[in-house]
Structure formats: structure tokens, C-alpha cells
Amino acid sequence: MEGFGPSFAFWVLAALTLVAAGGVMVSRNLLHAVLFLILTFIGVAGFFVLLSADFIAMAQVIIYVGAIAVLVLFAVLLTPRSGRDNGETRWALPGILLAVCLAAIFLFVVHDTAWNTVDEAPAGLDARALGTALLTTWVVPFEIASVLLTAALVGAIMLTRSPEEEAEDALV
């Protein structure tokens, strides 16, 4: 991990991620915002690769870029054109002020803390060890997460039924 390569990759990825995240905030068209968001997700996946967490990077690409972004795109395209206007902003100045203050506090804390970093070169994240830990130490949160996903799926289906389907159910 010595040398020029990782830090060069870091700055390129940082520029990509920050420009894309800024684009999400700036763009007036909701579709452009979604495309910038996909670019941000890809940049974050690059950071995970740089931190040698391959499995998390893969999950990021598959779930965020492959599923969540496509879901948001579908929602944008399913809604009428009037809802695609993203221009409306209220309380912009207090929002900017709060965000800048928050970032300043975070940056101060990050800079001021003496991080107790481990010196040894980071080994790659072992996907086998991750799976073992998920199914032994963390098995209860794992099961709760699966129940949560099922509940969210059922809830989403219930919420988006058409009025005709709801009328049919009311008769039974």
C-alpha cells in the first residue's frame, strides 16, 4: 500500500464523489439529480475498494447502483411531468448555514482527535469471516433485518395497489 497509487486514486475518487454529490444538490431536473446520485454511489464503491473491503464495494454496486437508483428512476418516470421539477427550495440560506456549520464542526473534530490507528498493513476484508460473523455473533440482528425487508416489501405492495384492487378487497 506504499507509494503514489493509493493517494492518487483517493484524490481522483474524492473529486468524482464531491462533484457528483454537489451535482445532486445543484441540478434542477430530478432525472439529472438521479444520474448524479448514481455517479456518487459509484465513487463511494471506489472508496470501499480502496479500503480493501471488496465485499462491501460489491454490495454497494449491486444494491445501491443496481436496485435503489433504478427504483428511484422508476419512481421519477412513473410520476407525471409536473412532479419532475426539482427547483423549489425553501429556507435555502439557513440550510446552507447549518450544513456549513455542521461540516466545520465535523472537520474540526476529525482534525483535533488523536486517532489510535493500527499500524499494520490492512489485510483485505475476508468475505468468509464476514459471513461467519453474520451467522454466529450477529445472527439476531441478521434475522431482524430479514423480517424488516419482508415487512417493507409487503408494505410497499399494499401502499401502491390500484383503487380497483382495493375495492375488490373491501367486498370480501
Partner 1 sequence: MVPLENYLALSAIVFALGVYGVLARRNAVMILMSVELMLNAVNINFVAFAAYLDPGRIVGAIFAVFIITVAAAEVGLALAIVIRLFRNRATANVDEAATMKW
d(CA 47, CA 10): 7
Q: How far is the CB of 172 from partner 1 (least distance, A)?
A: 22
32-41 b/e (C-beta count within 10 Å ≥ 16 → b)? ebbbbbbbbb
114 binds partner 1 (CB under 8 A): no
Which phi and psi angles does 119 have, rounded to 5°?
-85, -25
> Of the two residues 25 and 168, which places its CB atom closer to partner 1 in the complex?
25
Grid cell in block for residue 31: 432525472
In this chain, which of 116, 164, 169, 170 binds partner 1, going by CB under 8 A?
A: 116
Site string for partner 1, 68-97 (x = CB under 8 A): x--xx-xxx-xxx-xx-xx-xxxxx-xxx-
137 by Cβ neighbours in 10 Å (0-12 / 13-18 / 19+) ranks as: exposed
d(CA 172, CA 160): 20
1 binds partner 1 (CB under 8 A): yes
What are the angstrom distances between the C-alpha of 21 and each of 16, 39, 67, 101, 124? Answer: 9, 8, 19, 18, 28
> Of the two residues 14 and 168, which places its CB atom closer to partner 1 in the complex?
14
Size of the site for partner 1 (CB under 8 A): 89
Site string for partner 1, 31-70 (x = CB under 8 A): --xx--x--xx--x--xx-xxxx-xx--xx--xx--xx--
115 binds partner 1 (CB under 8 A): yes
> Of the two residues 118 and 172, which places its CB atom closer to partner 1 in the complex?
118
> Of the two residues 162 and 172, which places its CB atom closer to partner 1 in the complex?
162
